[in-house]
Amino acid sequence: MTAIGDDGTDVTPGCKQAGLDVAVWKTIVVGSYGTSIALRDALVARRIQIGDLAGQMLRLPTFTLMPSHANVDLSVMTAGQLVHRSDGATFTEIHAHAIELGLELCAPEVGPQLRLQYLDQRLGEYLLIGMAPLPTADGSAACFVVGNGGAGLIIIGRSAGADMTVSSRARFVFARGQERTIAP
């Protein structure tokens, strides 16, 4: 049975552990672009600003695309919900606690696809993509961030080394369960 929240999103109970329900926040489609260049071109065509680090991530061979169309259910949680401390947490801790709840790290393609498919993002919202960090040209590790800072929709990269700390208020996007293949 599907439950719809006050804001129109699906709040059907999902993963449960320690009394915490993790609802599906949004379902996106991945695997719809044949190359990372085509995906980048789609971002540009929609006038989405691509930060320098995100641009690097899209160009490197470590950025991969799904081989076929699939639906991916996404959930959003704060670092504080995952790691119960008020002073923030490291990416390693956040990822580990998300996995304990039954969530999964997102495939690299989820960040740019979410940016393309979440065009009504509210002003001031930034979402870190819970993903295995991608190495960048300078050798650092980074994750994607989708945001709306007021001057338009953006996708940027953020340093995401294992020991990097983020605020307990930082919001992360994780995948729920296996992606579901769909017909193109």
| Tokens at 99, concatenated | 């996995």
> For 63-73, what is each residue's pLDDT tens digit?
999 999 999 99
> For 86-144, what is each residue's pLDDT tens digit?
788 999 999 999 999 999 999 999 999 999 999 999 999 999 999 999 988 888 899 99
Beta strands in the chain (DSSP E): 15-17, 20-22, 26-30, 49-50, 70-78, 89-90, 103-104, 126-129, 134-135, 141-148, 153-159, 165-166, 171-181
| Mean pLDDT, residues 150-179 | 90
Residue 125 and residue 147 in contact, taking contact as beta carbons nearer than 8 Å: yes
What is the value of pTM for the model shown? 0.85
**What does pLDDT average to over the chain?**
86
pLDDT computed for residue 22 by the predictor: 81
